[in-house]
Amino acid sequence: MLRKSLLLLTIIVSGQLAFAQQKQLTTNTGAPVGNNQSSKTAGENGPVLLEDVNLIEKLATFDRERIPERVVHARGVGAHGEFESYGDFSKFTKASLFNSKGKKTPVFVRISTVVHEQGSPETLRDPRGFAVKFYTDQGNYDLVGNNLPVFFIRDAIKFPDMVHAFKPSPVYNKQDQNRVFDFFSNVPEATNMFTYLYQDLGTPANLRQIDGYGVHAFKWVNAQGEVVYVKYKWNSMQGVKSFSAAEAAQMQAKDHSHATADMYENISKGNYPSWELTVQMLKPEDLDKFDFNPLDPTKIWPEDIAPSMAIGKMTLNRVPDNFFETVEQAAFAPATLVPGIEPSEDKLLQGRVFSYMDTQRYRLGGNFQRIAVNAPLVEVNNFNQNGVASNRGTKSDVNYQPSTTQPTFVDDNQYNYSTRKINEETMQRVISKQNNFKQAGDLYRSLSKVEKEHLISNLAGDLGQVKNKEVVNKMVSYFYQADADYGNRLIKALKLNRNDVVALVAAN
């Protein structure tokens, strides 16, 4: 007999008495299932009958469990939490999440490695993605950053080639430093990023003890339409802790998911990780005043030109109850913005503003913003409609705007984008103030003796795998231009001919 009512069962869980509700097993359409252990067969030995609809549905659903993994940042861990604003920053931005002291906004955060596939070890050298979704009272705002303050390239048109070079060979299906550095020996603007990545910062000990950076400049716009450029940083309140190459290798041999385990164990124990958010600001009229372009994402803004100001604190306090539904289906995008926050003219960021939602429409479908983890807490009112899995179509005959017969949703010019005068030629050109090496040199000189030793040996380890000497010499000539000691130590570690490297420096 079918048992439709719920049974209350007493079960033993880890030696403790607990009550669990046992519910009737059903098909996807809600029909009760009679036998979920044996397929329906013609006679004891089969064949199996196609009319066993539960069997067919179970296999068909299983066959579709996988979705495409993210084309980059495939491996990650996610958690829910809360952001609290330290004050009222409406002088600078009309974004409501920053408009009063103590204002709390729920967040979802995903921290990831970049290059390697979904099941790859969390110990590998890589930047760590640091993506935060704020569910604000004016819709969602995504701050999609990394744990390192700069990036490899400054123009989105180079991104697919860069990722191809980093990913496994299309022929041998293995990451290959020959391919990586073949590409980067032609990309001197990556020198600053490599000087961060090849420190132990490239192998974090866990994901609670990393900082996060927005990397790009963004525009903050206030209610009067005044613009200020900002760069964001998440400062880990647990401090920053990295593995040396040896420690990372040791951990990898033991556990390839150590960072996920660390994050979930700490949150589950109530040891909630938190980060303080700071911003640096530059006025539009000051952007031309420096020896680098502040909209170039291969550069930091030194504190002496733009001091940091603390604006809030984020705490992660809840492990998602289903990894696939939240962490895997989470869709962060630099285009997910609220009034008062806009992209800067940074050419890398401009490409990102297109790319993320484009890949998400492919990865998760056209209605990806309706998936619970991506849906805003506020009502969504517009006439975008239909598509696969639609559940938000208008229930009225008037699915357009404007209408003379019925009131529809209204737009309000207080939320207009900011304006800017442009009177320039169209062109395809590299920025004029490239200054590819100075900040890398400053960074190198700021390191301790041990940090320098690890940087040199980590870099020499990967460059030492490159067979083409011209590629290695070119790479080292970039580090040499950042700092002669940096270059000389690499020349020594890699047993290069110093004259070959210096000749490339002179030719540059």
Rounded to whole angstroms, the Cα distance separating 144 from 59 reads 37
* Least distance (Å) between residue 335 CB and ligand HEM: 11
Note whether 332 binds ligand HEM by CB under 6 A.
Answer: yes
Here the tokens at position 273 are 């990780």
- Residue 319's contacts (CB-CB under 8 Å, 6 or more residues apart) are 79, 80, 264, 267, 268
Q: Which of 115, 251, 331, 501 binds ligand HEM (CB under 6 A)?
A: 331
Task: Give the C-alpha separation, 455 to 149, whole Å.
Answer: 17
From 14-22, 145-153, 298-306, 378-386, give the range in contact with ligand HEM by CB under 6 A.
145-153
**Nearer Cβ to ligand HEM (70/454):** 70
Question: With binding defined as CB under 6 A, does residue 73 bind ligand HEM?
Answer: yes
| Contact map string, positions 19 to 58, toward ligand HEM, x by CB under 6 A | ----------------------------------------
Residues 178-217 touching ligand HEM, rule: CB under 6 A, are 215
Radius of gyration, CA atoms only, the chain: 27
Q: Which is nearer to ligand HEM, 73 or 125 (CB)?
A: 73
**Binding residue for ligand HEM, selected from 33, 55, 156, 431, defined by CB under 6 A:** 156
CB 141 within 8 A of CB 132: no
* Separation between Cα atoms, residue 249 and residue 39, nearest integer Å: 47
Phi, psi of 393 (to 5 degrees): -65, 155
- Report in angstroms how near the CB of residue 417 gets to ligand HEM at its nearest: 21
Buried b (16+ CB within 10 A) or exposed e, 64-90: eeeeeebebbbbbbbbbbbbbbbbebe
Report d(CA 28, CA 17) in Å as an integer.
Answer: 32
Count of residues in contact with ligand HEM, rule CB under 6 A = 29
- Rounded CA-CA distance 474/501 in Å is 7
For ligand HEM, the closer of residues 364 and 466 by Cβ is 364
CB 440, CB 191: distance < 8 Å? yes
Report the distance separating Cα 90 and Cα 98, nearest Å.
Answer: 7
364 close to 371: Cβ distance less than 8 angstroms: yes
145 binds ligand HEM per the rule CB under 6 A:
yes
Tell me if residue 499 is catalytic: no
Cis status, amide bond into 47, omega within 30 of 0: yes
Site string (362-401) toward ligand HEM, x via CB under 6 A: -x--------------------------------------
Distance CA 197, CA 199 (A): 5
Active site residue 80: no
Catalytic residue among 99, 140, 146, 206: 146
Question: Judging by beta carbons within 10 Å of its beta carbon (0-12, 13-18, 19+), is residue 7 exposed, middle or buried?
Answer: exposed
Q: What does the chain come to in residues?
A: 508
Q: How far is the CB of 141 from ligand HEM (least distance, A)?
A: 14
CB of residue 278 to ligand HEM, shortest distance in Å: 16
- C-alpha 23/C-alpha 305 separation (Å) is 63
Among 71, 253, 305, 484, binds ligand HEM (CB under 6 A): 71
Among the listed ranges 50-58, 83-91, 329-337, 486-494, the one in contact with ligand HEM (CB under 6 A) is 329-337
**Buried/exposed 97-106: b ≥16 CB within 10 Å, e otherwise:** bbbeeebebe
* Nearest to 356, CA basis, from 376, 339, 336: 336
In contact, 98 and 311? CB cutoff 8 Å: yes
Q: How far from 452 is each of 107, 436, 448, 482, 489, CA to CA, in Å?
A: 37, 20, 6, 14, 10
Residue 146 as a binder of ligand HEM (CB under 6 A): the answer is yes
CB 221 → ligand HEM: shortest distance, Å? Answer: 21
Q: Please choose, from the candidates 100, 93, 107, 134, the residue with its C-alpha nearest in 3D space to the C-alpha of residue 339.
A: 93
Q: Are 282 and 305 in contact (CB under 8 A)?
A: yes
Query: Residue 313 in contact with residue 276, Cβ under 8 Å?
Result: yes
- Residue number with CB closer to ligand HEM (338 or 348): 348
Question: Nearest distance from residue 358's CB to ligand HEM, in Å?
Answer: 8
Select from 115, 144, 221, 456 the one that contacts ligand HEM (CB under 6 A). Answer: 144
Residue with the CB atom nearest ligand HEM in the bound state: 129
Cβ proximity to ligand HEM, 161 vs 453, nearer residue: 161
Q: Which stretch binds ligand HEM (CB under 6 A): 42-50, 127-135, 253-261, 266-274?
A: 127-135
Binding mask 334-363 for ligand HEM (x = CB under 6 A): --------------x--xx--xx--xx--x
The interface region with ligand HEM, picked from 35-43, 70-78, 229-237, 305-313 by CB under 6 A, is 70-78
x/- string (CB under 6 A) for ligand HEM, residues 396-435?
A: ----------------------------------------
Residue for token digits 């009272």?
137
Shortest Å distance, C-beta 237 to ligand HEM: 20
Nearer to ligand HEM, 204 or 487 (CB): 204
- Shortest distance, CB of residue 140 to ligand HEM, whole angstroms? 14
Which amino acids are annotated catalytic?
A: 73, 146
Question: Under the rule (CB under 6 A), what is the footprint of ligand HEM?
Answer: 70-73, 76, 110, 112, 129-131, 144-146, 151, 156, 159, 215, 297, 330-332, 348, 351-352, 355-356, 359-360, 363
